Amino acid sequence: MKKLLLLLLPFLFLSCETSPPTNPTGPSVKTGEILLNISFNIDAGLNASKKVLLEDFANVSCAPCVISNRIIESLVKETYGTEKLIFVKFPTNFPSAVDPFYLAAKNECDFRMSFYNIFFAPTVIIDGLARPVPTDSNSIKQAIDVRLITPAPFDLSISKQIQGGGLVIDLSITAKDTISFNYSDLVLHFTLVESEIEFTTPPGSNGETIFHNVLRLQLPGTQGYNLNEIKLSGTAGLSANYEETIDELWDVTKLHPVVFIQNKQTKEVYQSGSTF
């Protein structure tokens, strides 16, 4: 019995066969910049539509990830639309430690996996709280539906403009009030994803060549922005210019910001937004 348990444990954590990427993303050369402008407003009559955040932890050499990827794409494109459901793919270092997307954003991915204690790919997190079965569309849908009827205490209005090889992003945060939360516990996460990345040959052993909403970076870093500081800035807002941030290998026309407000203590995501 002990020998059987030892054999099962590696399968539980790795889930599938590994192989090195056949088409890595190449060396990183940062060129483009991001200008980010954030403002904060209060509206006691706010009636914001809830947008659910789905975080997908996956790997290019994970066979079950093929199923979960198809489910997520179907839910976004056919069931809910981006006005209700936003997702970010966080690459993992298992079962393949040389997933090119993970290697390109190692610090961000490691932090997020540690935040949720991720040990298995695929893993799906809904609004920071629910962990539905990633290969069961009904399980994921049920978790999304629960969050969609949850009142949204914030609204996130976001726009982007391409300027040269960079982006100008304007984000307006509207809160229903300033007393319902301890704002020091709330974090605004700014994540930049590439909506579609295609390889000529599979970069891993699961056969996939097209990947969606892959994490590229987080600003100002993994810890995000303290929402209390943004609140204090008010309508005057905060501005930050991140020079030499966008990699020349990324397709700037397919780069989208995904932003979300999360409680760092409870992990609940109260609202999310994007430019999809």
Sort residue 212 into left (φ over 0), alpha (ψ -120 to 50) or beta.
beta
Which amino acid, residue 19?
S
Q: Which residues contact 114 (CB under 8 A, 6 or more apart)?
A: none
Structural domains in the chain, CATH included, are 29-274 (3.40.30.10)
Cis peptide before 122 (omega within 30 of 0): yes
Strand ranges across the sheet with 30-42: 154-163, 166-175, 30-42, 238-247
Q: What is the pLDDT of residues 93-132, one digit of tens each?
A: 999 999 999 999 999 999 999 999 999 999 999 999 999 9
pLDDT at 9 over 90: no
Per-residue buried b or exposed e for 195-231, using 16+ beta carbons within 10 Å of the residue's own CB: bebebeebbbbbebeebbbbbbbbbeeeebbbbbebb
In this prediction, residue 26 has a pLDDT band, given cuts at 50, 70 and 90, of low
The per-residue pLDDT for 164 is 87
31-50 per-position pLDDT tens digit: 899 999 999 999 999 999 99
